[in-house]
């Protein structure tokens, strides 16, 4: 190794140490805890076991020790994945036309629209969640407006349901879908659409064969940016779900708190990490294939 390369490593050493201690270190601790036994009142006992990983998917009967699927755990995991996918879909359905509208505005107006999109990031996530709560609660703005119009006689129970969690997460993470889509559409060559219309292509065909393939990197990036934080969401399901419709983030908190089962909470945390890694690997694979096709 020459002197310049050695100096480069020495200069980057503090950042590497910080990265290992601040990022990899806590993950390693969680991974180790997932293979230990729970303590009597909290914490862990330093005895190797895979029981925590077993209990993520299965459970033993307390009387005859028979093994069955951990229905509660699998239900929470499925609810988390389902709501995250639905949140991604809803934000895409709303975000794509929004991003298209902003990208097709005159250059002097785009900054204003992007400013309006990013305003929610100025406030805390907790405040934004409470704002949605005030809209969808029984005496909130939505039910009051529908009753004023005479469309309903009694308030619609939206709060403390999966639908409320979906609405809240879609509102919170919508800008994370709009901004990557805008970046992709802003580089789009609109002359391709004119050429397609000259060749008598329908609007649906133009959307499917021209627009979507070209802006696909923005779609994938926005989907990852929405899906990943939605999967580990804690505040929004806790407030809008009322503790009854918990997601995996709430369940992990329960294990480290009231459940006092740190190994199970650590195993669930690692499972969540693996799901996120799978989503990120899929994103890398898609973007890599796009780059190879463009070469």
Q: What is the pLDDT of residues 99-114, one digit of tens each?
A: 999 999 888 888 899 8
Report, as an integer, the average pLDDT of 88-103. Answer: 94
Radius of gyration of the chain from Cα atoms? 24
Q: How far is CA 152 from the centre of its chain?
A: 34
- Going by pLDDT thresholds of 50, 70 and 90, the confidence category of residue 14 is confident
Q: Given this model, what pLDDT does residue 292 score?
A: 59
- Give every CB contact of residue 220 below 8 A, 6+ residues apart in sequence: 283, 286, 287
Of 275, 271, 233, 254, nearest to 52 by C-alpha is 271
d(CA 59, CA 234): 25
pLDDT above 70: percentage of residues in the chain: 96
Whether the predicted pLDDT of 295 surpasses 80: no
Condensed to tens digits (0 to 9), the pLDDT of residues 165-212 reads 999 999 999 999 999 999 999 888 888 888 888 888 888 888 888 888
Domains of the chain and CATH, by start: 72-294 (1.10.3720.10)
Strands 67-69 and 44-45: unpaired
Contact 260, 37 (CB under 8 A): no
Averaged pLDDT of the chain: 87
Contact 146, 152 (CB under 8 A): yes
d(CA 263, CA 11): 38
d(CA 272, CA 270): 5
Condensed to tens digits (0 to 9), the pLDDT of residues 119-150 reads 888 888 889 999 999 999 988 888 998 888 88
d(CA 183, CA 225): 14
Question: Residue 117: how many CA atoms within 13 Å on its side-chain side?
Answer: 24
The C-alpha angle 294, 190, 91, rounded to 5 degrees, equals 80
Whether the predicted pLDDT of 8 surpasses 80: no
Whether the predicted pLDDT of 294 surpasses 60: no
Q: Given this model, what pLDDT does residue 1 score?
A: 58
Contact 63, 46 (CB under 8 A): no
Condensed to tens digits (0 to 9), the pLDDT of residues 228-259 reads 999 989 999 999 988 777 899 999 999 998 88
Tell me which DSSP letter residue 26 carries. H
Whether the predicted pLDDT of 6 surpasses 80: no
Q: Which residues are paired to 38 by β-bridges?
A: 44
pTM here?
0.87
């Amino acid at each position: 190794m020459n002197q310049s390369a050695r100096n480069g490593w020495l200069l980057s050493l503090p950042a590497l140490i910080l990265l290992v201690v601040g990022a990899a270190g806590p993950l390693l601790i969680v991974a180790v805890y997932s293979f230990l036994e729970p303590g009597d009142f909290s914490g862990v006992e330093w005895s190797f076991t895979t029981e925590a990983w077993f209990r993520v998917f299965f459970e033993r009967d307390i009387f005859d020790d028979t093994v069955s699927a951990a229905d509660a755990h699998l239900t929470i995991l499925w609810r988390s994945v389902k709501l995250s996918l639905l949140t991604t879909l809803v934000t895409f359905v709303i975000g794509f036309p929004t991003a298209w509208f902003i990208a097709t505005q005159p250059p002097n107006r785009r900054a204003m629209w992007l400013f309006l999109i990013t305003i929610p990031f100025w406030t805390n996530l907790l405040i934004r969640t409470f704002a949605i709560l005030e809209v969808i609660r029984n005496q909130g703005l939505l039910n009051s407006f529908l009753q004023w119009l005479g469309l309903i006689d009694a308030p619609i129970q939206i709060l403390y349901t999966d639908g409320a969690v979906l609405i809240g997460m879609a509102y919170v993470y919508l800008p994370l879908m709009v901004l990557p889509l805008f970046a992709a559409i802003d580089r789009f060559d609109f002359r391709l659409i004119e050429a397609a219309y000259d060749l008598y292509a329908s609007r649906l065909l133009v959307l499917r064969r021209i627009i979507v393939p070209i802006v696909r990197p923005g779609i994938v990036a926005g989907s990852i940016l929405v899906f990943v934080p939605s999967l580990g969401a804690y505040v929004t399901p806790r407030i809008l779900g009322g503790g009854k419709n918990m997601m995996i983030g709430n369940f992990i908190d329960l294990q480290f708190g009231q459940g006092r089962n740190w190994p199970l909470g650590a195993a669930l945390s690692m499972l969540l990490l693996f799901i996120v890694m799978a989503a990120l690997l899929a994103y890398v694979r898609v973007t890599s294939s796009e780059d190879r096709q463009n070469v």
